[in-house]
Amino acid sequence: MKFIDEARIEVVGGKGGNGAASFRREKYVPFGGPDGGDGGRGGSVYAVADENINTLVEYRFVKRYQAEHGERGGSSDCYGKGGEDIELRMPVGTLVVDVDTEEVIADLTQHGQRVQVARGGKGGLGNLHFKSSTNRAPRQCTPGEEGEKRVLRLELKVLADVGLLGMPNAGKSTLIRSVSAAKPKVADYPFTTLHPNLGVVRMNDAQSFVIADIPGLIEGAAEGAGLGHRFLKHLSRTGLLLHVVDLAPFDPEVDPVREAQAIVEELRKYDEALHNKPRWLVLNKLDMLDDDERREKIEAFLDGLNWPRDVADDRDGFDMAAHRVFTISALTGEGTRELTRAIMDYLEVARAAARAAAEVEKQQAAEAKAQRSSLIQPVAGVDD
């Protein structure tokens, strides 16, 4: 199935049913009075996260989704039937944005999450609501409300722990094939990868993480050059970026340092938060270099990039835990085990910190609630 990660649709809530104006008419019951019921509410439209769906392709073909209208109220105090709600099932990781206001309506990050994206209209009131001592035969009733209408932009951002970035042919797809069961296409020409690929890296039965490979970036990607700019948003949810660098390019005119700097600049121009994410260097294709050439190229690259070597060498305020260097050969697997082990250790610490922060936030919320409750004193039984 073709990977579709963006779509635009229109959603419309159902119209509420009109209220009824009728009167009770039975034998031996003179002046029965009003008995017009209310109209039923219109159906609403909901977005639901479904882990069994991995693309927005179906929303490219059907552009408009209309919930059912509510039924009109009837006589004998009968209320109209409410319209049926409709659910739009979307991949986990979908962001739902109102096109007109740019408001984020839903961020579907968990399976089964259900968010209303278009509200159905309320049903109209029947004339039984307008009865009073001075108006015993009301003929008033109100129409049902129109349902909410919205144009939505759907953006799928893949949910991954680790994101790969780099120039075309840096070896990202080969790396993800080497460390996971994913099988992206690999070839010796640029832009082999045309859409994001996800792979699950399993360290053991209890430890695993998800790694995402996106199409290669080129200089000017933030302005729309190449393919990678369409998928930069997929890196925004990742906790760690791996910057894969080709240390042995076929073209001798290619400067790995300049290419690496260009990638970092594209991240900065696209999104400052993405640029500030923890980013590790992964120097690839060591199998194409002998031992002496390896050391020479690695040292020259790190010097050219002004990358710190250890904790004591903390230039430019680098956090060494978030800016490490690994040398690998994705083709032969050399160094990949050490890389994945380091990633797993890093993510375990980050996950523990996130759980602790969530627990603290939950505790603070409970304490604030308890404090608000203590300020509300009962008035019954208080002595004057």
Residues annotated in a binding site = 166-173, 191-195, 213-216, 284-287, 329-331
Cβ-Cβ contacts under 8 Å for 168 (sequence gap 6 or more): 190, 191, 192, 215, 216, 217, 218, 226
Q: Which two tokens stand for residue 341?
A: 């082990």
Residue 12 exposure: Cα atoms within 13 Å on the Cβ side = 12
**What three-state secondary structure class fits 143?**
coil
Strand 94-98, strand 114-118: pairing = unpaired
Distances (CA, A) of 350 to 44, 165, 176, 301: 39, 21, 22, 29
Distances (CA, A) of 86 to 119, 169, 356: 11, 44, 38
Spatial separation of the C-alpha atoms in residues 281 and 259, rounded to whole Å: 13
What is the side-by-side order of every strand in the sheet holding 279-284? Answer: 197-202, 208-213, 162-165, 240-246, 279-284, 325-327
Distances (CA, A) of 214 to 116, 162, 244: 31, 11, 12
3-state percent breakdown (helix, strand, coil) of the chain, nearest 5: 30, 20, 50
Per the annotation, where are the binding residues for Mg(2+)? Answer: 173, 193
Kindly report the number of other CB atoms within 10 A of residue 132's CB atom. Answer: 8
**What three-state secondary structure class fits 273?**
helix
Per the annotation, where are the binding residues for GTP? Answer: 166-173, 191-195, 213-216, 284-287, 329-331
